Amino acid sequence: MTSTLRRATAAAALAIATVLGAASCTVEGTPVRPGRDVGTDTGRVDTDKFERLLEECDILSAVQIGKAVGGGIAQPGFYGANCRWLVASKSGVVNVMFNWFEWGSFAQEKDTAKRLDFTTENIQVRSTAAFTARDPKRPGVCGVTAKAPSSGVYTWWVEPEGAPSGDACAAPIKLMELILSGAY
């Protein structure tokens, strides 16, 4: 075995030992989500206040979504962590997205929007704390995030593919009003 090969083998063995040693260490303490105290997280979502859990994408009808963004009936595009629809309107196709993060934090969502260089504005939607998020590079796009009545946060994003008409935040605010009023 050459000296170069011996050194390479020794370096590889040392690297493997280091990785295995780090992977087998134990961390003391109790895991806690940011913003929570030890012992306050039960790991449960209060489904009594959101009867349609696991049906988040059906929270509003396709007709309600289409009407709120000024178009026809919304066509579902993807249902998963984020619910997405396409709506045909006079000015073109409008992309609509909704999510409900049951364990989401209002402050964290706002901090994320600011880190993405979005401008934010505090608003009230049906007496609920909310904020708008706008991307200065895409003035026709707006998102609205509000505290969910049971837990977490709701967010609606509306992005027209064509030139926007009017206030970009009017449609996501209208969608948020509908779910916060229980119009589903």
Considering the domain delimited by 51-180, tell me its CATH architecture: 3-Layer(aba) Sandwich (3.40)
- Does residue 149 have a pLDDT over 90? no
- Does residue 58 have a pLDDT over 90? no
- Taking residues 105-115, what's their average pLDDT? 94
Q: Per residue in 114-147, pLDDT tens?
A: 999 999 999 999 999 999 999 999 999 999 999 9
- Quote the pTM value: 0.70
Q: Where are the domains of the chain?
A: 51-180
Q: What are the C-alpha distances in Å from 99 to residues 19, 24, 47, 59, 166?
A: 38, 37, 16, 10, 24
